[in-house]
């Protein structure tokens, strides 16, 4: 697991195992008919950061990524959410109101000055802060006070910036913001992945499978690869 946060009891969680690191898994949660990671991505990329360069912060909050890496970071079957998918999440948890959405998405502990949320849906947005080179100094900002998540959608004004979801301790609203992604002024933010609609997860081990609709039926499009029990084999034990 990528964080030490313990979400409120009474909610059903799944797991997603990253096949690149098979002993590393993330909580997942279903909100509004879609499956989301309920923890920040922690896969190590060259252009990713632990807040203040402290690996302990990565263990708590996950890593911060530049957009170019974030777009290709999610494992097979999962994607960086689009702007529209973030907006649908905001509607799902805020009764149509961005004002209530922030409170519902934030963890119920860890935010400074009593800026905690309710974590009502189990999304568990931690105040991981962000990294910014906007001033040319490559500084860290917002730990315990802000959560910023990349979307896969570039802004309409051009590809030099992209949208992201912003949560802050001072307000309970959730909003989409714009962040520079190219040139000298760029950002590194947290990443959550969303399960693609033509995939499903076996929550016994977190493996992801393609599925396909044929006629009125939905079939697995890959063979089951669950290792439970003693009566299954890999061909030639390979």
Chain segment 161-220, per-residue pLDDT in tens = 999 999 999 999 999 999 999 877 789 999 999 999 999 999 899 999 999 999 999 999
The pLDDT of residue 42: 93
Tokens representing 145?
């006070």
Question: Model pTM?
Answer: 0.90
The pLDDT of residue 138: 85
Q: Do residues 183 and 167 lie in contact, with contact meaning Cβ atoms separated by under 8 Å?
A: no
Give the closest residue to 10 by CA, choosing from 97, 113, 121, 85.
Answer: 121
Tokens representing 63?
């890593």
Residue 16 has pLDDT above 70, yes or no: yes
Mean pLDDT, residues 102-113: 96
Judging by beta carbons within 10 Å of its beta carbon (0-12, 13-18, 19+), is residue 186 exposed, middle or buried?
A: buried
Tokens representing 185?
């002024």
CA distance 171 to 221: 44
The pLDDT of residue 99: 78
Kindly report the average pLDDT of the chain as a whole number. 92
Residue 1 has pLDDT above 70, yes or no: no
Query: Which residue reads 């084999």 in tokens?
Result: 233
CA distance 105 to 191: 15
């Amino acid at each position: 697991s990528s964080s030490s946060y313990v979400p409120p009891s009474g909610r059903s969680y799944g797991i997603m195992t990253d096949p690149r690191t098979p002993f590393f898994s993330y909580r997942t949660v279903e909100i509004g008919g879609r499956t989301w990671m309920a923890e920040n991505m922690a896969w190590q990329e060259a252009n990713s950061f632990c807040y203040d360069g402290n690996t302990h912060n990565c263990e708590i909050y996950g890593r911060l990524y530049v957009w170019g890496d974030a777009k290709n970071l999610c494992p097979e079957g999962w994607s960086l959410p689009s702007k529209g998918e973030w907006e649908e999440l905001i509607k799902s948890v805020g009764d149509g109101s961005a004002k209530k959405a922030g409170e519902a998405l934030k963890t119920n502990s860890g935010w400074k000055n009593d800026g905690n949320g309710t974590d009502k849906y189990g999304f568990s947005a931690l105040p991981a802060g962000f990294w910014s080179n906007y001033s040319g100094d490559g500084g860290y900002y917002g730990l315990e006070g802000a959560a910023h998540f990349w979307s896969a959608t570039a802004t309409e004004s051009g590809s030099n910036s992209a949208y992201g979801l912003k949560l802050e301790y001072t307000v309970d609203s959730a909003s989409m913001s714009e962040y520079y992604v190219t040139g000298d002024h760029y950002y590194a933010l947290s990443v959550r992945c969303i399960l693609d609609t033509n995939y499903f997860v076996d929550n016994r081990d977190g493996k992801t499978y393609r599925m396909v609709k044929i006629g009125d039926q939905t079939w697995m499009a890959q063979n089951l690869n669950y290792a439970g029990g003693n009566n299954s084999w890999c061909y030639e034990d390979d």
